[in-house]
Structure 1
Amino acid sequence: MFKLLKQLTELQGPSGFEQPVTSYIKEKVTPLCDEVKVDAIGNVIARFKGNKPGPKVLLTAHMDEIGFIVKKVEKNGLIRFEKLGGHDDRILLAQKVMVRSEKGPKLGIIGTISVHYQKFDNSQKVRDYKQLYVDVGASSLADVEEMGIAVGDPITWDSQVEFLGDEQNGKIVGKGFDDRAGCAVLIQLLEDLQNKEFSGEVIALFAVQEEVGLRGAKVALANLEFDIAIALDTTAVSDTPEDVMDNTLQIGGGVGIKIMDSSLISHPAVKDKLVELARTGKIKHQLEIFTGIGTDAGAVTLANKGVPTGVLSIPSRNAHSPVEVIDLKDLESVKELLTAFIKNDNQKSDFLFY
């Protein structure tokens, strides 16, 4: 799982610019599935049938990551940018970024003032991102153009996947776990199902543009029919000492079984089935109620006249930053519970509302 996730997160694919990720996932899942299609905006839809009749189960994870886009190049070569997805302006300063230009990736930094100017500044001020800039080492507009950088080029964090501390604790740090981690789980699930020992059909949707309003899923769902749905995504834990944390979700606490977030109230029958399978299989899990987040499940539950929908969450620290942290043991718990759900001979009748 670590190797696959590392390969996925090293790709630059912010919202609307997921081409490298689309290509990678299409190549990866084509030999594993009965049918793979890429739609006009980059969603990858893979279908795989089991050896027994049963319901069509949609499994979805989004492939985009948060990022930025080149908005303007100043005469002195500094680059102004716009956000792609949700960012906290407090963490932008002095971070390394990568600009995806027509001449290849170009390293930049989000500039900040030297500490020596602090006594002349308001140290409590959080500068709005519109005041910030990316420095790619250029001295003029012409220098930037020579690098192949132009208005509209996407920008991502420049950080590598590494073990946090050491390999023994199983925690890793990097960018883009939201939601390449969910994509990794889906790919590995398809690999594990190659004996076809399950009922019905799995429809794996690797969606684009989740971070800018669930747009990819909304487009794909207009052309898909399915009976049950599970979304996979990261979720923000609350197990650190900040005042706003309530310690209801922990990293290393196992797969999160969603009850409610800002986009979805999970279907009770789907949630109950997931809890039952986790308890029966002794899979480490935790129940999640967190209204500070939303997922593609919010779009899924409104599609096809309403479909029973649930979410499996991957606990994460420092979400939407260049140093997201997840526990590989949690990731394995997600895959284990998802596999149990698919292999449980689910029938549509098991998921009635009453």
Structure 2
Amino acid sequence: MKTWNELFIRHGWLITEAKENQFSLEGETAENIKYLTSSLEKARVDHFLISGHLFIYQAPISEEKWIDILDFERRGRTENIWEQADISQLDTYIAGIVRQLNSLGFETTSSCDGHSIRSAKAVVKKTKNIEQLITLVTAINDGSITLRESERCYTINFRCSLPQLLNYAEELSLIDCSTLNEDSEAIKKGHFNTLLEELLSINGESRNESKIRSFIRDYLTPFVDHITEDQYGNLLAEKTFRNGNGPTILLNAHLDTFEAFASERTIVKDGPIWSSSNGILGADDRAGIAILLTVAKFLPQTHFNGKVKFVFTVEEEIGLLGARNVNDYFLWGVDAALVVDRRGKGDIVTSCYGAFPFCDKAYSDFIEKVASDSGMPYWKATSGGSSDTKIWAEHNIQSVNLSAGYMNEHTDDETLDIEASYEVTKLVEAIFLKSNELRATLREINNMKRNINRSPLFRKLIT
């Protein structure tokens, strides 16, 4: 369920939330304020205006109901709107993008949400240089956005579903004008930190994971082909890229925290080190979730030719129960797993206390090499404790558990190094960028095992 603030941003209003359900209307036009209040009246939402502020003392309605109210007959059908300030004159699903582009200094001349018939587009005047627009587009691109330059304008094309346009509007709202002169990586890192902070605000101890599961499902849906909740409460999703002839990779983090978050706690930020003002921070495993959601958005931009399966498990903290109850058929065909649920930084966990191996050495050697080639030579294979990784290994899946940047988990002294956490997204992305080498490594492992199984000595030992 979206908050009122999110509903307003996604659908084109440039207002700020001063306090919970209290919004400053400063800077918004009289026409758009009138359209907003009339829409709230149609939704039968109790509200009132006073001194340039909007007050709402009612829970948000669903976005589907909000769209039904906003999407009146023939809204935005003229498409070529030269004055883009009036939300009601813009197509329903692209109004938020247009308003955010204008607020960032990119003056639009026309737009269309495609009406589920063709690609959506926004046409931008050449009032800013192309490098700034490229930076902006690159920061939010998940492989669905293209930019074309002509003599008089830039055209941004969005080849995506209508709901994804609303997500782009929300992402654009997180960008500060001052960052447009920075590279897109800095903007991406800012988006990651915002996502991480939002995840750390959602409670979800073992057996109470519904809110965090719902958030992840909403966030992940645009980036996958299928997503479902299994009979035990795990969130399962998959995406096939191109013809799917490459390896099948499992990406895993867990939904539950060690305990519930303390009421009215705040996140204390000391540079890149985050902690909780009271109780656990919950970076175990909210950091892992943020990393995998960021990777999910990145994957369509790669040339990866295979399948990715996501498993967000419940009840990991009380005995890996969610992972133990994932249906075997979902794991069929999985070649390798990347779990993100390890303290510290630079660890590639390859066994449980050195006694139960998670993978062959060739798999961890491959990840070490990818890290080194990507400027992170300190990533090294090591032994570690119990995690969902053990369950995937029991299914004969090549598996490792990667550090997520947190320390002192399960205690009030828990901290998170957000720089180290963001670095993991770059490592996992680099692994997918070298999927051909990964495929060759997995083939080598399988051939080696096949040869061992065929050897006379092995057959003698098992008979």
TM > 0.5:
yes
Distance change in 2, residues 1:329/1:341 (3 Å): same
Distance 1:4 1:340, change over 3 A: same
Query: Following TM superposition, by how much is the alpha carbon of 1:353 offset from its aligned partner in structure 2, in angstroms?
Result: 7.8
Give me the whole-angstrom Cα distance separating, in 1, the residues matched to 2:445 and 2:419: 29
Q: Which residue of 2 aligns with 1:300?
A: 392
1:262-291 per-position Cα deviation (integer Å, ceiling 9, x unaligned): 385231122111001111111253335354
1:60 aligns with 2:162: no
Q: How does 1:40-79 map to 2 (within 5 A)?
A: 40-52=231-243, 53-67=245-259
1:135-284 alignment, distance < 5 Å: 159-164=265-270, 167=271, 170-174=272-276, 175-195=281-301, 197-224=303-330, 225=332, 226-235=334-343, 237=344, 254-262=345-353, 264-267=356-359, 268-284=361-377
Alpha-carbon distance, 1:308 to partner: 1.2
Matched letter for residue 324 of structure 2: K
Q: Which residue of 2 aligns with 1:340?
A: 430
Counterpart code for 1:334: V
2:419 maps to what in 1?
329
Q: Is the 8 A contact 2:255 2:285 kept in 1?
A: yes
Could you report, residue by residue, the CA deviation over 1:160-197 in whole angstroms, capped at 9, with x for unpaired residues?
Answer: 32312xx3xx1211311001100100000011112352
CA distance in 1, matches of 2:376, 2:327: 30
Identify, as 1 or 2, the structure richer in strand: 1
Structure 2 gap ranges (5+): 1-191, 449-463
Change (3 A) 1:309 1:290: closer
The match for 1:352 is 446
Structure 1 gap segments, 5+ residues each = 69-96, 99-106, 108-157, 238-253
The match for 1:133 is none
Q: Deviations over 1:216-261 (max 9, x none)?
A: 11112523121111111132x5xxxxxxxxxxxxxxxx43212333
TM-superposed CA distance for 1:209, in Å, is: 0.7
- In 1, the alpha carbon distance for the partners of 2:311 and 2:266 equals 26
What CA distance in whole angstroms lies between the structure 2 residues aligned with 1:66 and 1:353?
41
- Following superposition, the deviation at residue 202 of structure 1 comes to 0.8
2:226 and 2:254 mapped to 1: Cα distance?
19
Counterpart of 1:54 in 2: which secondary structure? Answer: coil
3-state secondary structure, aligned to 1:279: helix
Give runs of aligned pairs for residues 117-132 of structure 1, distance below 5 A. none
Q: Distance in 2 between matches of 1:221 and 1:182?
A: 22
Cα drift, residue 322 of structure 1: 3.5
Mapped pair 1:3 → 2:194:
yes
- In terms of fraction of residues, the more helix-rich structure is 2
| 1:19 partner letter | S
Spell out structure 1 runs of 4+ moving beyond 4 A. Answer: none
Question: Aligned partners of 1:315, 1:289: CA distance in 2, in Å?
Answer: 16
Residues 181 and 234, structure 1, Cα contact 8 Å, conserved in 2: no
Selected match of 2:224 from 33, 40, 65: 33
Partner of 2:409: 319
Aligned residues: 244
The two structures have a TM-score, normalised by structure 1, of 0.64
**Which digits, 9 at most, give the CA deviation of each residue in 1:16-73, with x for residues without a partner?**
11000110000110011111111122211111122252011111111110126xxxxx
Native 8 Å contact 1:261 1:289 kept in 2: no
Sort the Cα spacing of 1:220 and 1:299 in 2 relative to 1 into closer, same or farther, 3 A: same
What amino acid maps onto 2:340 in structure 1? L
From the superposition, tell whether residues 285 and 159 of structure 1 become closer, same or farther in structure 2 (CA, over 3 Å).
farther
8 Å Cα contact 2:335-2:398 kept in structure 1 = yes
Give the distance between the partners of 2:273 and 2:387, measured in 1 at CA: 23
Relative to 1, partners in 2 of residues 1:283 and 1:42: Cα closer, same or farther, differing over 3 Å? same
1:221 and 1:228 map into 2 onto residues whose CA distance is: 17
Q: CA–CA distance in 2 between the matches of 1:51 and 1:290? A: 36
Amino acid at match of 1:188: T
CA distance in 2, matches of 1:202, 1:48: 5
Please say which structure displays the higher CA radius of gyration.
2
Equivalents in 2 of 1:190, 1:27: separation in Å?
13
CA distance in 2 between partners of 1:33 and 1:3 (Å): 22
